[in-house]
Amino acid sequence: MAITDPKYRPQMTNAGLEAAEAVTAIDESGQSREGYIAAERALTIYLNKREIVTLMTLGTNPELLVLGWLKNQRLVHDISDVQSLQIDWETDSAAITTFNSIADLDDKLGRKTVTTGCGQGTVFGGLMDDLDKINLSQVKIRQSRVYELLRTLNHHNEVYKRAGAVHGCALCEDARLRFFVEDVGRHNAVDAIAGHMWLENIHGHNKLFYTTGRLTSEMVIKGAQMGIPVLLSRSGVTHMGLEVAQKVGVTLIARAKGRHFLVYNGADNIEFDAIPESSQTKKAEKIR
């Protein structure tokens, strides 16, 4: 995620909204209960006054979401090309102005893939374009650090605990949580993290990316584009997600909860330093 001027920041609004709405529901006994449901808002992106796409989002990090979406769609390659980004909730719109026109925009918008993202995510351009150009670091990660990180992440699903119906994604370094986002779709949450990294000139070579959602090809590609070599999911992996991880060298860890996880790719990068005593005993018995 190279940036020509690391100090550059486009002109931006700060238009984040509340993630949950108060409602009244009737429970199974016919009693009234006060609670919360996740907000869901339409945000239509206009790039240089041209309508591009409408995203469904919580609206808590709209500027970061739009920046990350632009980056992950490969429509804008350098944040210094973004002049301004304005969110207007009265019109449910995000207006992006760039200093220069976008090369091959018609061609990119004409090639569209409807992904498995919640609410059907959309990727413009060739989904596999530029994968051969990605060169990821090979980062070693300790099993004990994975457990420590999972314990930390349990305390950061605030919207999910209050209202449900959302996915959470996190940017991590070793066992430390650097940035956490929840949204109605995991693809939105990863885009918001990509926007944060782009804006703050954060590189992914020594980072780990966590998601509560499944690791599809789209998620693996986005993680790789962000330069992140390790992906960790509470959910599962798709076959195409695994194929992409093998192609670009992403360490893929899924079904991670409590003290359980499965490594689908990159097991050589895991230091198993917290193997349960029962497993060690079984291994010793096999050796005998």
- Domain layout of the chain by residue ranges: 11-128, 141-271
Return the closest-CA partner of residue 61 out of 249, 255, 207, 194: 194
Residue 140 pLDDT > 70 = yes
3-state DSSP helix/strand/coil % of the chain, to nearest 5: 30, 30, 40
Beta-strand relationship, 50-57 and 41-47:
antiparallel
For the residues 111-118, what does the mean pLDDT come to?
56
pLDDT band at residue 120, thresholds of 50, 70 and 90?
A: very low
Six-digit token pair at 12? 């931006």
Each residue's pLDDT tens digit, 241-265: 999 999 999 999 999 999 999 999 9
For the residues 82-91, what does the mean pLDDT come to?
98
Q: Which residues contact 91 (CB under 8 A, 6 or more apart)?
A: none
Residue 114 pLDDT > 60 = no
Place of tokens 């703050």: 200
Average pLDDT, the chain: 89
Positive/negative CA dihedral, 178, 208, 163, 85: positive
Residue 284 pLDDT > 50 = no
Q: Range with the lowest mean pLDDT among 17-21, 35-39, 104-108, 116-120?
A: 116-120
Residue 287, pLDDT score: 45
% of the chain with per-residue pLDDT over 90: 74
Each residue's pLDDT tens digit, 19-66: 999 999 999 999 999 999 999 999 999 999 999 999 999 999 999 999
What does the alpha-carbon distance between residue 132 and residue 224 come to, in Å, rounded to a whole number? 11
What does the alpha-carbon distance between residue 115 and residue 213 come to, in Å, rounded to a whole number? 14
pLDDT band at residue 7, thresholds of 50, 70 and 90?
A: confident
pLDDT band at residue 121, thresholds of 50, 70 and 90?
A: low
Q: Is 171 exposed, middle or buried (0-12, 13-18, 19+ CB in 10 A)?
A: buried
In the CATH scheme, what architecture does the domain 11-128 have?
Roll (3.10)
Q: What is the pTM of this model?
A: 0.87
Return the closest-CA partner of residue 123 out of 255, 240, 34: 240
The more confidently predicted of residues 103 and 1 is 103
Residue 115 pLDDT > 70 = no
Residue 132 pLDDT > 90 = no
What does the alpha-carbon distance between residue 263 and residue 249 come to, in Å, rounded to a whole number? 13
Q: What is the 3-state secondary structure (H, E, C) of 203-227?
A: CCCCCEEEECCCECHHHHHHHHHCC
% of the chain with per-residue pLDDT over 70: 88
Q: For the residues of 84-134, what is the DSSP string, one character each?
A: EEEEETTTTEEEEEESSPPTTHHHHHHSEEE-SSTT--EEES-TTTTGGG-
What does the alpha-carbon distance between residue 209 and residue 186 come to, in Å, rounded to a whole number? 12
For the residues 103-124, what does the mean pLDDT come to?
64
What does the alpha-carbon distance between residue 66 and residue 63 come to, in Å, rounded to a whole number? 5
Q: Which residues contact 80 (CB under 8 A, 6 or more apart)?
A: 3, 4, 5, 8, 99
In the CATH scheme, what architecture does the domain 141-271 have?
3-Layer(aba) Sandwich (3.40)
Q: Is 86 exposed, middle or buried (0-12, 13-18, 19+ CB in 10 A)?
A: middle
